Amino acid sequence: MQKNEENLRRKSRQILFLIIIVLILIAVPTYFWIRNSNKYRAIQEKSRMSPVIMVPGSSATKERFNELISLLNKDTDKKHSVLKMEVYNSGKISYNGTIARNDNEPFIIISFENNKDGFSNIKKQASMLNDAFGKLTDQYYFNNFKAFGHSNGGLIWTYWLEHYYANYSDSIKIKSLMTLGTPYNFAETSIKNPTQMFTELSKNRDKIPKSLNVFSIAGTENYDSDGLVPEESVQAGKYIFQKRVNHYTTMTVTGDEAQHSSLPQNKQIVKMIEEYLLDNRVPGNPNNKRASNLDNNNN
């Protein structure tokens, strides 16, 4: 009996000893890993880069925003550098252009080989957007960004916010989202006929970050449509964002170049982007607070 008991305890102690050795073996790689990852976090935290990430609509390519970008760059001394990414169906990502070293507000365009319309494609595109976004966070250090989507691009962003953003929300803040002629209820002219996509987007609205500022811009050629997207469908966005996000602002532009596909180069809209989406331009822009504070600290 006595011997049996001794055996029992010896065996347990051996296991305990083994566990302690395992613990030490774990501790060593963990030490290097945390050092490394906290270093990365520190660089990211101190980074002043705040890119504008743009997603074009269906049937559009990565060249979609060229005109818009040249208009935006015309108005400033500090030219924004441009990086164009295209995600292929195979998962491969191609890169065009570079982000200049001293550019704190680069434009990054993420486009997709599969640029078709329809909810099932939008889901696929959101997942592709997420792949590209993941690559961006690996290669560039930034702790906040601004999102811009034309047409279906706005839907892709919204779907991404609801399904993927949570993975990044601890370390990367999305400051604002601007959507341009985005058909939140596709081609329906009334929310009494909700599309499946609209229903799903509004069902998951509580996953959208509360601190976000959303600007939804509609164009109208006549009194109810921009020639392609009904104004009602753009306005349906309020059922997704209103009472959820920090500010939800809608604006409607009319007149020259208010047609759906000319919206990105509409002069009024260029002004709105400068005023509401970009940092460091107009003193009244609430988005500037953080950036200008940092500037003062550095002086």
Partner 1 sequence: MLRRLIRGMIKLNKCSFFRVVRQTLSMLFPFALLGSFSQMIYRAFLSQNGLFYNIAYLGDWVPDWLMRDLQAAFIGVSRITFNLFGILVVYAAAKYTARIYHRDSQLAGATGIIVLLLIAFRYDHAAFDHAIGFNWRLLSTQSMLIALIVGYAIGQVYRWLGVERNFQKTRQIISVRDRSFYAMKPLVTSIILAIIFTYILNFGLLSKVLRGVYSQMVTVGQNNQGIWLTIAGTALITLFDWLGLGSVANSGAVLSGGPFASNLSYALQHGSAWNIPHPFFGGSLYNSFANFGGNGLILALTVAIIITSRTKGQHQIARWTLVPTLFNSEYAAMVGFPIIMNPLYLLPIQLLPIMNIIIAAGAIALHIIPPTPYPVLMGTPGPLISFVASNGNWWVLVFTLALFVLDVWCFIPFVKIIDHFDQELSLDSSEVDYYAKK
**Residues numbered 138-167 forming contacts with partner 1, rule: CB under 8 A:** 167
**Could you say whether residue 38 binds partner 1 (CB under 8 A)?**
yes
Query: Do 86 and 97 touch, CB atoms closer than 8 A?
Result: no
Strands ordered across the beta sheet of 52-55: 93-96, 82-87, 107-112, 52-55, 144-150, 173-180, 213-220, 247-254
Q: Which of 30, 38, 59, 36 shows the shortest CA–CA distance to 118?
A: 59
Q: Which CB, 26 or 282, lies closer to partner 1?
A: 26
Residues within window 215-254 making contact with partner 1, judged by CB under 8 A: none
- Residue 277 Cβ vs partner 1, minimum distance, rounded to whole Å: 24
**70 lies in the binding site for partner 1 (CB under 8 A):** no
Q: Which is nearer to partner 1, 45 or 256 (CB)?
A: 45
> Cβ 44 to partner 1, closest distance in Å?
8
Q: Is 31 in the site for partner 1 (CB under 8 A)?
A: yes
Q: 4 or 284, CB closer to partner 1?
A: 4
Residue 170 engages partner 1 in binding (rule: CB under 8 A): yes
Number of residues that bind partner 1 (CB under 8 A): 26
Extract the tokens encoding 71.
Answer: 């208009």
By CB under 8 A, tell whether 187 contacts partner 1. no
Segment lying near partner 1 (by CB under 8 A), choices 38-46, 50-58, 222-230, 250-258: 38-46
Cβ-based nearer residue to partner 1, 13 or 78: 13
> Which lies closer to partner 1 via its Cβ, residue 29 or residue 284?
29
Phi-psi region of 186 (alpha: psi -120 to 50; beta: other; left: phi over 0): left
Least Å distance between CB 112 and partner 1?
19
Report, in Å, the least distance between residue 49 CB and partner 1.
16
* Residue 21 within binding range of partner 1, rule CB under 8 A: no
**Smallest distance from the beta carbon of 279 to partner 1, in angstroms?**
19
Binding residue (CB under 8 A) for partner 1 from 3, 21, 27, 74: 27
Which position among 12, 139, 190, 242 is part of the footprint of partner 1 (CB under 8 A)?
Answer: 12
Rule CB under 8 A: which residues touch partner 1? 5, 8-9, 11-13, 15-16, 19, 23, 26-27, 29-31, 33-35, 37-38, 41-42, 45-46, 167, 170
